[in-house]
Amino acid sequence: MKAVAALKISPLFRALDRRSLRALGDAAEWRDYRGGEYLFRRGQPGDALFLVVHGRVRVIRAADRGAPAAVVEAGLGQTVGEVALVTGEPRVADALALRDSRVLRISQSAFEAVVQRHPAAMLALVRQLLERQRHDAVTHPRDRRRSARTYALVPAHDGIDIRGIGSAFSRTLAGFDSLMRLDPSRVDQALGEGAAATDFEAGGNARVAGWLNRLEDAYRYLVYQATGELDAWTRRCVRQADRIVVIAHRDRDPAGSRVLAWLREAELRAPVELLLLDRDDDEAPARSADWQSVLAVERQHRIDASLPAAALGRAVRLISGQALCVVLGGGGARGFAHVGLLRALEDRGLAVDAVGGTSMGAFVGGLVACGHDSDTVLDTLRDTFVTHNYLNDYSFSRVSLISGQKFRRQLLSIFGERRIEELPMPFFCESTNLTRGLPVVHNHGHLADWVGTSMAVPGIAPPTVYQGDLLVDGGLMRSIPFETMHAMGLGPVLVSDVSRNADLRVEQARGELPELLSSVDGAPRHLNIFKILFQSATLTSERETRELDRQADLVLHMPVGESGMFDWEDIDGIVYRAYHHADEQLDRWAGGGTSG
């Protein structure tokens, strides 16, 4: 591509006349950066701006007074380095090539010459900077995942069916948009024998890089399939990647992987995801921790090595930010409504890819994360709360009305020794640290322990003691843990809210003066200590509800206002009403309607 053609793709320069474009193009300088290389560093003179023609550049501004570091990514036609050019001050950010990138460097003197002839160029630049400030300066993890265009699939050792995994990975990703999968044979077929083995410094590199850049313009996604050897092609795959996916058998020793050692030493800045293949005879759960201790990864995904095509779908959706994430709130028997949502999703063929919850939502979410369908979840809830009542071991001790032992034994019989980090999908639940007044996110450890803790309503069930602190029901601080799922950035978030319309109003016969509830004439039968305690642990303010409606992709405020928090016998009615509500709301959501 010629410099003038490159300038025309930029909103900053496309309005210039031909003469100015030619003059600026003649003054601009082409520069190539390999993935992981810096265009400029903090503190350097702001003597130029850079127009991204191919590749991707990340600009990282240091954290300020406890705020997170600001991250902005620039792709085709976007510029970086403008702030220092305008202010004349040293640079306050680093600019890093996320993959092999080609840019036009436009010096300060060249830009000022254009501005003198076309003041509108400076106006366009100022507008661009203001637009960036108006939007979030910190790129949300979900946006960063979804903006990824290039993926490198890298086998960590021999014995991995990289062709089969690459094919299955690409088929799922191609369901979202156009895609090209690249391996050495495809490159050699297009450019001639040995083209894939061309090094970055070699004379033929520009030809290979140019061809790859043209493919990036033609396709939404490129999947680079590495060889597993430390050859020129594998190195190029990793440098070109917006996200690197390392594939390994879970029972292999990571210390023996030369590829892994090189990835560590290369200090590449693209996020790394770990795809661990489980075998039927895999009895070494600690191996997954070994891999993560050797390689810094953003997330790990476990799939069945015998069924890679079926198991890879969820992993690909999580990696690409296309996962369906579900958050389930707390609310006692009202939480049965979550089953209605699960059933409505199943009817549409929509698989839950990540789940989180609080209190009853933690219980239902834990069952979903174990791989159970809505029928099994419903059967388990019926057995636990209706057929048998595992909450009736009353103790009236100094700390709670029940001992909680029966319910914890039931949780152990359901979940066994499963650990959260070993589940087939991302899962978390939340509790409240009563000692410190903080919400606690549980995303590792024994599932039964933390689900039980998340359901421990203060005063009704005993707290969990952990590292000297008292942990109780998560709903005490956040009955709907949306923020935790949102921050994970894995995909659209659906929320099932069952906390509304609590009947806690009392008619006063003696006027409006304050009086103790115990002294009110004819104290209402619908109120008791259980309901008051439970409502205290699942309270959602109107402000929180409005904020939830604004941020979540879909919030289902389930029709559970007529159901009490201990109406266990109404399980089928609650599920039925919730299913039809979810069915309607999912139709509206799919059609672009609003949440409700």
Catalytic residue of the set 359, 374, 431, 479: 359
Residue with tokens 């879909």: 554
Separation between Cα atoms, residue 53 and residue 33, nearest integer Å: 12
**Cβ(342)–Cβ(478) under 8 Å?**
no
| Strand order across the beta sheet in which 299-304 lies | 179-182, 221-225, 150-155, 243-249, 272-278, 299-304
What's the rounded Cα separation, in Å, for the pair 413 and 418?
A: 11
**Closest C-alpha to 340, from 596, 576, 573, 567:** 576
Name, in order, each residue with C-beta under 8 angstroms of 158's C-beta and a sequence gap of 6 or more.
228
Burial of 356 from C-beta contacts in 10 A (0-12 / 13-18 / 19+): buried
Strand, coil or helix: what is 515?
Answer: coil
- What type of residue sits at position 510? R
Catalytic residue among 100, 183, 473, 497: 473
The CA distance from 337 to 328, in Å, is 10
Widest Cα–Cα separation across the chain: 94
- Which of 367, 348, 347 is closest to 357 using CA atoms? 367
The tokens for 380 are: 């388990």
Identify whether the C-beta of residue 12 lies closer than 8 Å to the C-beta of residue 128.
Answer: yes
503 classed as catalytic: no
Question: How far, CA to CA in Å, does 439 sit from each of 432, 581, 594?
Answer: 5, 30, 30
CB 517 within 8 A of CB 523: yes
How many Cα atoms within 13 Å fall on the side-chain side of residue 361? 30
d(CA 334, CA 540) in angstroms, rounded, equals 14
Residue 544 to residue 567: CA distance in whole angstroms: 26
Which string of DSSP letters, residue by residue, matches 398-417? Answer: SSBSB--HHHHHHHHHHHTT
Residue corresponding to tokens 């990340």: 58
CA angle, corner 193, sides to 187 and 195, nearest 5?
50
Helix (H) or strand (E) holding 102: strand 101-107
Backbone CA torsion sign across 378, 379, 384, 385? positive
Q: For this structure, is 413 an active site residue?
A: no
Active-site residue numbers? 359, 473
